[in-house]
Amino acid sequence: MGVEFVQFSLTPILIGVLAAVACALPGNFLILRRQALIGDAISHVVLPGIVVAFLITGTVAAIPMLLGAGAAALVAVVLIEAIRRLGGIEPGAAMGVVFTALFAGGVLLLEQSDTSGVHLDVEHALMGNLETLIWLRAEGWSSLIDPVALAGLPPELPRMGFVAGSIAVLTWVFWRPLKLSTFDEGFAQAIGLPVSAIGLGLVVTAAVAAVAAFDAVGSIIVIAMFICPPAAARLMTDSLSAQVWWSVFFAILSAIAGYVLAGYGPIWLGFSNSVSAAGMIATISGAILGLACLFGPRRARVGVSAGA
């Protein structure tokens, strides 16, 4: 745990943890609202947004990428609503149509445009580039209090930290409205809560988390973290606040264990290459969900009818 760890592993792990937590927090409410696929949809539709932003600006700088991704996410939300309302189609199907079509469009755009000079490709979109978010300026743990070294941090870290922190604060501030409007929208509205604004705010927050995390870690982690930690957490407890804490714990556990296993697991097994950290983090979160399904104390609850 010396200089090498700080240089090559600390920042990717932290970014992975922050991305996982930023997605898992809104994921709790999305799952309870039967909207879990929104995260999936958003993380797919940001691809064409990013490609278009690159085609317009010619760079892969963060700001145009994030703006493009945000615009694409908005377009997708509007399209999903339009298809649902005008076509009278259930939300899951509308999301499925929109996100596959937009993602496919993004892939086509990417293939047709000249992005050979930059690291913008389908693989990057899926896996992100977690392993490259290293901190070469670091000279050990003491660098954490060294302003010069801190200035050399990968910009994804403070950005992801800001997003994750903001989402945590929003979740805390709007806890009661979120909880009540998720459980009983009619009652929430009857006591004067603006339920449409709350629902929209949740989706926008999820979109911000997805876009920021997509930039740092790719869409595989985003999709997994919106669903796996909250779903596993739901099987551990019958209290919403405990569920949210469990989901944060599972998100952090997945990010750390996934990164370590991806980097060192194959070497421990005698192979010479490491595997994709994003892929391993998502796999670990899936394994946690599997274990929660088998052994979670509240697993019997799902599908049990209340009776009359």
CB of 231 to another protein, least distance (A): 12
Residue 251 corresponds to which tokens in the numbers above? 């998100």
Residue type, 208: V
**CA 250 distance to own-chain centroid:** 13
Residue whose C-alpha is closest to residue 31's, from 23, 43, 20: 23
d(CA 213, CA 23): 8
Nearer to another protein, 136 or 197 (CB): 197
CB atoms under 10 Å from CB of 306, counted, come to 4
d(CA 62, CA 193): 36
CB of 132 to another protein, least distance (A): 39
CB of 97 to another protein, least distance (A): 23
Nearer to another protein, 44 or 234 (CB): 234
Could you give phi then psi for residue 19, rounded to 5 degrees?
Answer: -65, -45
Q: Are 252 and 281 spatial neighbours (Cβ–Cβ below 8 Å)?
A: no
Residue whose C-alpha is closest to residue 11's, from 106, 114, 153: 153
CB of 186 to another protein, least distance (A): 4
CB of 242 to another protein, least distance (A): 8
Long-range CB pairs of 156-159 (<8 Å, 24+ gap) are 156/15, 156/215, 156/216, 157/11, 157/14, 157/15, 157/18, 157/133, 159/62, 159/212, 159/215, 159/216
What are the distances in angstroms from CA 212 to CA 16, 48, 79, 306? 12, 15, 22, 41
CB of 192 to another protein, least distance (A): 5
Nearer to another protein, 119 or 301 (CB): 301
Could you give phi then psi for residue 131, rounded to 5 degrees?
Answer: -65, -20
Residue 254 corresponds to which tokens in the numbers above? 């997945």
Residue 123 corresponds to which tokens in the numbers above? 């693989």
Q: Which positions lie near another protein, rule CB under 8 A?
A: 32, 173-177, 179-180, 182-184, 186-187, 189-193, 234, 237-240, 242-243, 301-302, 304, 306-308
Residue 281 corresponds to which tokens in the numbers above? 């983090």
CB of 34 to another protein, least distance (A): 8
CB of 205 to another protein, least distance (A): 16
Nearer to another protein, 2 or 307 (CB): 307
